[in-house]
Amino acid sequence: MPNASGTWGTYYKPFSADSPWNSRPVNPVFGTFEIPKDSYFPAISSGAYSTGLFLAKESDSPMTIQGLDARGVWDPDAGTYGPVTIPRWPADVLPASGNDGHADIYDPVTGIIHSFWILKMVNGQWVAAQHAWTPVKGSGFGIPGHHYQGARAVGVAASAGIIRKHEVKDGNAVYKHALAMSLTFSGLSPGYIFPATTADYGNEKNYGKIPEGALLMLPPSFDTSKIANADLKKIADTLKTYGAYVVDRNTGTPYAIYVENGSDFNLMPKGWDNTIASQLDQIRAALRQVVSATEWRDGNESSMSALNQNFNAFSMRGPWQVTSTGTAAGAYDTIAQAVEFPASSQQIIQRNTNGTGLYNVTWGKRLPNSKQRFTVHATGEASMRLDVWVGSGVVYSTGNIGDGVVKEFTWPASGGWITVTAASGLNQPSSVGAKLIMIP
C-alpha cells in the first residue's frame, strides 16, 4: 500500500499542509439551509463524472493534445486556444466516460497536475476541450492571478478532494482531507465564495442557498455510530472532521461525493440497499454550510487563525500589442506565468491596456487604500513597467524594472486599473513576470 502519511505536495498527498483541502475548522459555525431532496438519492461513487489521477514516469514521452475543433484546446488562464503538449504522458490515461471526460495527469518532474475537460481519443489522436494546471505543492485552489487551475467548475483539478484509490482501505477512521462534492440547482445559489475563484456557467439558474466553493460539514451532534457500513461511516466521520467543498454542479442529485475511478469502492455491492439510501438521505438533511470558525488546523495540526487569502493577484496574460517596430511579439506561457521573448537583436516592447493582468476574482479585488507589493522575476535582462490609473491619469508607476526589483505602493481609494508594458532583453531568449500581493 502506498504511504500516504509522507510529504505534503506529492502524488499520494497532494497540496500544501495549509491548503483548504488539508485543513479543518475548529468550532465551526453553521448556516441553517438544508439541502433539498431532488430527483435522485445522494451518491458517493466513482464513474462517469469522477476522474483518475494518472502518474507519469520520468521516462514517459510527450503528448500533444489537439482541440475538439480547429481552434485548439481552451486555456482559461491565458484566454487563448491552441494545441497543448504535456512533457510526460502516462500510457494508462483513461478519461471518465461521462460528458465531462475528466482526466488528471501528475508529472513528478515538474510537480504539476494537468487537468483536462472532455478529453478523448479520436482517430488515434488525443483531443480535449480545455486544459488547466495546478502545482501539487500549492493550495489546490485557484488564486486571483492564476484563477483557473483545473477542470472543475470552481477552477480546481478534477482530482482535488476525491477519495483516492490508496485511501479506500488504508485503515484510517477518516479521510485526511476535505472531500469534493457537487450539488444540484436546488441546493446551489448563484455565484461563488472563497476558496473558489469561478463558478459554473449559467449559475444564475441556481435557486438554492449554497454557493460553489462553500465548505459543508456534518455537525458534531450527528450520530455516526448507527452506520453499520464501514465505508459510509468513514465518509460521515470525515464530513464531521474536514467536510466537503462544493466544486461543481450536477443534475438532479442532492449531493454527490467523488471517488477516484478504479477504486474498490461500492456502497451497494449487492444492489440497491434501502438502509444505505436512507442514511445517505439523513446525511443530506444534516449537512450545513460552514460560515465561520474560531480557528483552523492545518494538515500538521498547527493552528491558523484563518485560511490564507493573500495570494498573487497579477498575471502577464494578454492580449498584447507590440509597440516596437519590426519585431515579433513575446508570448504568455501559462506554466512559466510569464511572457517569453525570442532572441532578438532589437528590443521587443509590448503593452497590455486591457486590464487582464488583474482578473476579477470577487474575494481577490484590491482594497481601497491597501498597501501593495509588486515583485518582478525576469531572465535574459527582460524588464517591465506597471502603471496604475484612476480615470484617464496615471497615479503610480513602477518605472521600467527588472529581475528581483520590489516596489511598494498604495492602491487608489477608488477606480484603480492597470496597464502593463513588457520589454525583452537583447540577443538572447528572455522572459518577465511579476507578483502582486497586499501587505498585511
Is the model's pLDDT at 6 over the cut of 80? Answer: no
Report pLDDT digits (tens) over 330-339. Answer: 999 999 999 9
3 against 390, higher pLDDT: 390
| Residue 117 neighbours by CB under 8 Å, 6+ apart | 100, 101, 102, 128, 129, 130, 131, 151, 158
- What's the 3-state SS for the chain? CCCCCCCCCCCCCCCCCCCHHHCEEECCEECCCCCCCCCCCCEEECCCCCCCEEECCCCCCCEEEEECCCCCEEECCCCEEECEEECCCCCCCCCCCCCCCCEEEEECCCCEEEEEECCEEECCEEEECEEEEEECCCCCCCECCECCCCCCCCCCCCCCCCECHHHCCCCCCCCCCCEEEEECCCCEEEEECCCCCCCCCCHHHCCCCEEECCEEECCCCCCCCCCCCHHHHHHHHHHHHCCEEEEEECCCCCEEEEECCCCCCCCCCCCCCHHHHHHHHHHHHHCEEEEECCEEECCCCCEECCCCCCCCCECCCCCCEECCCCCCCCEEECCCCEEEECCCCCCCEEEECCCCCECCCHHHCCCCCCEEEEEEEEECCCEEEEEEEECCEEEEECCCECCCCEEEEECCCCCEEEEEEEECCCCCCEEEEEEEEECC
Q: Are 145 and 361 in contact (CB under 8 A)?
A: no
Report pLDDT digits (tens) over 32-41. Answer: 999 999 999 9
Is the model's pLDDT at 1 over the cut of 70? Answer: no
Instruction: State mean pLDDT over 230-250.
Output: 98
Instruction: State mean pLDDT over 20-48.
Output: 97
Per-domain boundaries in the chain: 20-304, 321-438
pTM for this model (two decimals): 0.96
Q: How confident is the model at residue 54 (pLDDT cuts 50, 70, 90)?
A: very high
Instruction: State mean pLDDT over 69-93.
Output: 97
Instruction: State mean pLDDT over 350-369.
Output: 95
Instruction: State mean pLDDT over 206-211.
Output: 98
- What percentage of the chain carries pLDDT values higher than 90? 95
Instruction: State mean pLDDT over 48-59.
Output: 95
Q: Residue 4: its pLDDT value, please?
A: 53
Instruction: State mean pLDDT over 260-272.
Output: 94
Least confident window among 96-100, 187-191, 230-234, 235-239: 96-100
Q: Residue 346: its pLDDT value, please?
A: 95
Q: Residue 5: its pLDDT value, please?
A: 58
Q: How confident is the model at residue 2 (pLDDT cuts 50, 70, 90)?
A: low
The CATH class given to the 321-438 domain equals: mainly beta
Q: Residue 49: its pLDDT value, please?
A: 86
Q: Could you tell me which of 401, 405, 357 has the C-alpha nearest to residue 383?
A: 401
Average predicted confidence (pLDDT) for the chain: 97
Q: How confident is the model at residue 361 (pLDDT cuts 50, 70, 90)?
A: very high
| Residue 330 neighbours by CB under 8 Å, 6+ apart | 320, 339, 340, 341, 342, 348, 350, 422, 424, 431
Q: Residue 325: its pLDDT value, please?
A: 84
Instruction: State mean pLDDT over 113-140.
Output: 98
Q: What's the grid cell of residue 430?
A: 528572455
